[in-house]
Amino acid sequence: MAKTLQILFLGLAIVLSGSTMAQNKKLQRDASMERAAMTKKGVKKMKKHKKAPLFTKTTSIFSEDFTNAPDTAWRYYDNDGDGYTWEYDSYYENMVSYSYDDYNYEALYPDNWLITPQITIPASGAVLSYGYFAYDEDYYSEVYSVMVSPSGSDNIDSFYVPILSNDMLTSDAYMTNTLSLNLFAGQTVRLAFVHHNCSDEWGLGLDDIEVYSLDSVDLAVTGTNVRPVSQSNASATITADVENLGFAAINNLTVYCDVNGTVTNATIASLPSMQTATASFTGINLSNLGTYNIKFYVAHPDDADNTNDTLSVTTTVLPAYSLTWDFEGDTNLPAGFTTGRYDNGTAYSTGFFPNNEAWVVFDDTDYDYLEPGFEGGVRVAMAESWFDENDSKTAYPANRWLITPSIRLTTGNYFVWDAYSMDSEYLEDYKIRISTTNTDTASFTTLATIIDEEGTWQRRLVDLSAYAGQDVYIAIQYISDDMFRLLVDNLKIAGLATLTPDGPEPEGLETAAGSDINVYPNPATGMITVAAANIIRIEVIDAMGRVAMTQNGSANTMNISALAEGVYTLRVTTENGVSMKRIVKK
């Protein structure tokens, strides 16, 4: 009897445990939505996603943006028989299929089919475009496939041609995809979006479905690895991405690269319809400091649209960086930085700004909010202009300052920084300002004003040559009016510069006073000795800020006989940081 009771109690415990786990998951989801409420954008379940525009360049054959519920020509099948299938979400104006029942707190195992009306594909072929997203920021691993019924039948068994199989979402971001329908040229078909092979997530959203025809030849230069800021390189490799938007495959395509009037070319051997390929240009001379105007272009005689054949970019080649603050040290602002809040607002996100700080170091480790940056890392400087709803309108705009330590400039210096608006629907405004006296806001002059900073990381720069030889403070003044959050990272000084003597050392690429090391002989004609311990690297930098020689390893001697006569700066990286010493080559 006792044993029977134990078994009964064990069974009851398992039932209660399962119920508790389901309720805990529900609470976890509710908590996720509560966290989202503390962000201005929120998750897709709480706020309608930003739709991608429908493709309009060529002829649209079929389109549905779900502004209204789809008509009766559409089909919905609950192939797993659980009573759930695709449904119209009238609030967010899209279709949705669920993998979790958040009313009964239980997992679903969807095999749900959403089938389009019949679509006739032209003999020249066509492309399917659509948008999709997960309904939850934490439970996003939804899986779907896209199938085709070549006969145009709406019977599930007729959908035997997959054009996308078991695609798993990796975030809740709204994504767009394009798939070729050229295989079905001249046929009348139906398309099926199948939500399947997943469980216990939340929901899959589908929107902005369009089928459009193709020109025979349409080439577009769509991207490059060239960035607005570069370092000196006498033999750089730069690339251009070319997309084939046409029906015909293109072979042996010549792509051209014009760098300040010097033209080279590269060949893409094969570029199928609706595919992208990369052309590489090697040995490009970007050794001289200054701005380079770079143009990539294609010139196919049968191209139906010449407006997308060219991509023009500029890059400014800068001297080597002497100071860098990357905010990766810890969650405190780097030594020597000061902040100031000169508005009447209270940051809405008290979890990130508990004391209404002007700027904080945000650690993204536990959030995964940030777009990938140019140099990686998980910490950035952050300020907010979304103020508490109880604040009066006089609290706006924000006026929040982030100020560097005092920096001693030489010649040819630039200030470089990375920035982006955390929410692309709320673009941020800010200024870069400079003071030659102190950190009082009245002493600062504006160097640059950025209006509507992009929703992706941008690398920007300002020229500091007008302040050569002076001690300066550089400030980022955040001035947005009821937007969201501005993020900045990788603040750098290009060209030789140090912190003003007796100032704190920066994090990242630290620079200590030149007196920390001794170099002899100086002047020198050949071999020099660096009196420093635990050396990692020795670099020789010329008067233009270019790295003339590099020696990696722990050796403390270096042969500089190959250098031309002149004044150089020795930059010595050790386990304790970076030191600089001016030397003369005779």
CATH code, domain with 449 = 2.60.120.200
Same domain, yes or no: 209 and 223: no
User: Does the structure show a pLDDT above 60 at 393?
Assistant: yes
Same domain, yes or no: 159 and 194: yes
What is the DSSP pairing of strand 445-450 with strand 430-435?
antiparallel
Same domain, yes or no: 195 and 246: no
Domain-ending residue, one of 318, 344, 376: 318
Q: Which tops the pLDDT comparison, 56 or 409?
A: 409
Q: Confirm whether 49 is domain-assigned.
A: no
Q: Confirm whether 137 is domain-assigned.
A: yes
Number of domains observed in the structure of the chain: 4
Same domain, yes or no: 195 and 228: no
User: Does the structure show a pLDDT above 70 at 15?
Assistant: no
Backbone phi, psi, residue 181, to 5°: -115, 20
Task: List strand residue ranges (DSSP E) for 245-304, in order.
Answer: 250-259, 262-271, 276-286, 290-298
User: Averaged over 283-307, what is the pLDDT?
Assistant: 94
Domain-ending residue, one of 164, 192, 213: 213
Same domain, yes or no: 365 and 382: yes
User: Averaged over 188-209, what is the pLDDT?
Assistant: 97
Same domain, yes or no: 494 and 387: yes
Give the whole-number percent of the chain exceeding pLDDT 70. Answer: 86
Of 473, 490, 475, 485, nearest to 398 by C-alpha is: 485
CATH code, domain with 232 = 2.60.40.10
Considering only CA atoms, give the Rg of the chain. 30
Task: Note whether 286 and 317 are within 8 A (CB).
Answer: yes
User: Averaged over 551-563, what is the pLDDT?
Assistant: 92
Write the CB contacts of 160 (distance below 8 Å, at least 6 apart in sequence). 147, 149, 150
Task: Note whether 498 and 571 are within 8 A (CB).
Answer: no
User: Averaged over 284-312, what is the pLDDT?
Assistant: 94
User: Averaged over 231-237, what is the pLDDT?
Assistant: 92
Same domain, yes or no: 231 and 180: no
pLDDT of residue 137: 85
Of 322, 327, 345, 346, nearest to 492 by C-alpha is: 322
Domain-ending residue, one of 318, 348, 375: 318
Same domain, yes or no: 252 and 272: yes
The model's pLDDT over 315-349, given as tens digits with 9 standing for 90+, comes to 999 998 989 999 998 888 988 899 999 998 999 98
pLDDT of residue 370: 81
pLDDT of residue 513: 36
Which range of residues forms the domain containing residue 408? 321-499
Give the best-scoring range by mean pLDDT among 52-61, 146-155, 268-277.
146-155
User: Does the structure show a pLDDT above 50 at 296?
Assistant: yes
Backbone phi, psi, residue 374, to 5°: -65, -30
CATH code, domain with 580 = 2.60.40.1930
Same domain, yes or no: 70 and 209: yes
Question: What's the mean pLDDT when you consider all of the chain?
Answer: 86
The model's pLDDT over 265-280, given as tens digits with 9 standing for 90+, comes to 999 999 998 899 999 9
The model's pLDDT over 22-52, given as tens digits with 9 standing for 90+, comes to 444 444 444 443 433 334 434 333 333 444 4
* pLDDT band with cut points at 50, 70 and 90 for residue 82: very high
Q: Confirm whether 435 is domain-assigned.
A: yes
The Cα 400–Cα 383 span in angstroms is 8
Q: Which tops the pLDDT comparison, 81 or 509?
A: 81
pLDDT of residue 570: 86
**Residue in the structure block whose two tokens are 């002493």:** 443
Give the whole-number percent of the chain exceeding pLDDT 90. Answer: 63
User: Does the structure show a pLDDT above 50 at 56?
Assistant: no
* pLDDT band with cut points at 50, 70 and 90 for residue 543: low
User: Averaged over 217-245, what is the pLDDT?
Assistant: 94
Task: Note whether 409 and 470 are within 8 A (CB).
Answer: yes
**Residue in the structure block whose two tokens are 């004044």:** 567
Same domain, yes or no: 417 and 545: no
Same domain, yes or no: 90 and 164: yes
Same domain, yes or no: 399 and 432: yes
User: Does the structure show a pLDDT above 80 at 294?
Assistant: yes
Q: Confirm whether 24 is domain-assigned.
A: no
